[in-house]
Amino acid sequence: MKIRKVALIALIIMAVTLPLSVFAQKPVVLRLAETHPQDYPTTRGDYEFARLVKERSNGRIVIEVYPGSQLGQEKAVIEQVQFGAIDITRVSVSPVAAFVPKLNAFQMPYLYRDADHMWKVLNGDIGKALLASLEPFGFIGLGWFEGGSRNFYNSKREIKTPADLKGLKIRVQESELMMGLVSAFGANPTPMAFGEVYSGLQTGVIDGAENNWPSYFSTSHYEVAKYFTLDEHTRVPEIIVGSKISLGRLSKADQELIRQAARDAVEFQKKEWAKYEQLSIDKVKAGGSQITYVADKAPWIALMAPLYAKQSKEVQDLVKQIQAVK
Ligand code: GTR
């Protein structure tokens, strides 16, 4: 009885005093969903972003990074960000464009002259305006990361010209534009979550897929699809997207702190990307992949004209603006 009384008193004291002290210092914890593993360059960029936010907020804001699709595959994650169940995610622009169609302008085939051109666009007025355009859809566009260029690979045969792609079942991200792109090359697009591609290739549900060097390597797709053609059909930026619902609860100053940290993590992420890209090239070559280089992209580019013509006026105008960036 006595012990119970003491315990009760202790509990009451805790209930009265604890919340005050805990609430006074309790950090705001934001969960960030990432599909790639811990050592992948986008994930490393996420950790750097989180580090900057924690440091600059003196520990008031903590971003917890969940790598390896722990919080789900990209499309589902984006939906959860939209209704505030996940606070932040780092994803490819492709699946986000299904929610914000304007973003398709950024992933049109053979659009950028090179990575520098893309970064000029992303860091300039167009990139800023497009990040802002996410808001009406429930997202806060925080920043861009490097995502290299995407290329076809498959388990069936060497692809030297677009004609060689004819009839192949090629996995694409859950993106209408990517389906149109693969169809325009004469192949059959199969939308599928990233995490299912390896078994899809292994069991023959799909013949191939398309991605950058780092993803081709880190997923081990190169082990089951050894024909890789460096056609560089797209250069799709990676994007960091926040939830308007959950970030909207923070002060304007804290929102800006987060945005600035995302921007300041980019240089680090780009360096990590360059290192990991080289490692991936070396590893897949050593692993026996057959790499085909495309000397003349003209026939590939020509096939994309109908896809450009099919885009909305909004996307076509943006494309012109992007092309005009010198
Ligand atoms: C990767 C990208 C991922 C994911 C994946 C895919 O290059 O970093 O976010 O979109 O491609 O093809 O699903």
Give the residue-averaged pLDDT of 99-121. 97
Give the residue-averaged pLDDT of 142-153. 98
Calculate how far, in angstroms, residue 229's C-alpha sits from the geometric centre of ligand 1: 18
pLDDT tier, 110 (very low <50, low <70, confident <90, very high otherwise):
very high
12 pLDDT more than 90 = no
Give which of 88, 95, 92 is closest to 47, Cα–Cα.
88
Q: State residue 1's pLDDT score.
A: 46
Which helix H or strand E contains 5, and what residues bound it?
helix 2-25
20 pLDDT more than 50 = no
Q: State residue 19's pLDDT score.
A: 47
118 pLDDT more than 80 = yes
pLDDT tier, 72 (very low <50, low <70, confident <90, very high otherwise):
very high
Give the residue-averaged pLDDT of 174-200. 97
Calculate how far, in angstroms, residue 92's C-alpha sits from the geometric centre of ligand 1: 6
Q: What is the pTM of this model?
A: 0.92
Under 8 Å CB-to-CB from 45, ≥6 apart: which residues? 90, 145, 265, 266, 268, 269, 272
How far, in Å, CA of 153 to CA of 206, rounded? 11
**Greatest alpha-carbon span in the chain:** 88
pLDDT tens digits along 269-300? 999 999 999 999 999 999 999 999 999 999 99
Helices of type H across 205-312: 213-218, 221-224, 244-247, 252-264, 266-286, 298-302, 305-310
Instruction: Kindly report the three-state secondary structure assignment for every residue of 191-222.
Output: ECCHHHHHHHHHHCCCCEEEECHHHHHHCCHH
The helix-helix angle for 252-264 and 266-286 (nearest 10°) equals 40
Q: State residue 164's pLDDT score.
A: 98
With beta carbons less than 8 A apart as the criterion, state whether 291 and 230 touch: yes
Out of 21-35, 229-243, 249-263, 302-316, pick the least confident: 21-35
How far, in Å, CA of 201 to CA of 2, rounded? 68
Q: State residue 10's pLDDT score.
A: 55
Average pLDDT, the chain: 95
- Residue with CA at minimum distance from ligand 1 atom 4: 92
Calculate how far, in angstroms, residue 225's C-alpha sits from the geometric centre of ligand 1: 17
54 pLDDT more than 90 = yes
Calculate how far, in angstroms, residue 150's C-alpha sits from the geometric centre of ligand 1: 10
How far, in Å, CA of 283 to CA of 273, rounded? 15
**Edge-first strand listing for the sheet containing 139-145:** 61-66, 28-34, 88-92, 238-243, 139-145
pLDDT tier, 21 (very low <50, low <70, confident <90, very high otherwise):
very low
Q: State residue 223's pLDDT score.
A: 98
Q: Which domains does the chain have, with CATH numbers?
A: 17-147+237-279 (3.40.190.170), 150-235+286-324 (3.40.190.170)
3 pLDDT more than 60 = no
- Quote the strand ranges of 102-251, DSSP E: 139-145, 150-154, 169-172, 188-191, 208-211, 227-234, 238-243
- Cα-based torsion angle of the residue sequence 316, 303, 225, 174 in order, rounded to the nearest 10 degrees: 30
Q: Residue 305 CB: number of other CB atoms within 10 A?
A: 10
Give the residue-averaged pLDDT of 124-152. 98
Ligand 1 nearest-atom number relative to CA 95: 10
- Residues in contact with ligand 1 by the CB-under-6-Å rule are 35, 42, 74, 91-92, 94, 147, 173, 194, 211-212, 215, 238
pLDDT tier, 25 (very low <50, low <70, confident <90, very high otherwise):
confident
Give which of 280, 303, 275, 306 is closest to 291, Cα–Cα.
280
Give the residue-averaged pLDDT of 221-250. 98
Under 8 Å CB-to-CB from 190, ≥6 apart: which residues? 169, 170, 171, 172, 200, 205, 206
Under 8 Å CB-to-CB from 262, ≥6 apart: which residues? 49, 142, 143, 240
pLDDT tier, 233 (very low <50, low <70, confident <90, very high otherwise):
very high
Q: Give percent of the chain with pLDDT exceeding 70.
A: 93
Which amino acid is residue 49, in one-letter code? F
Ligand 1 nearest-atom number relative to CA 211: 7
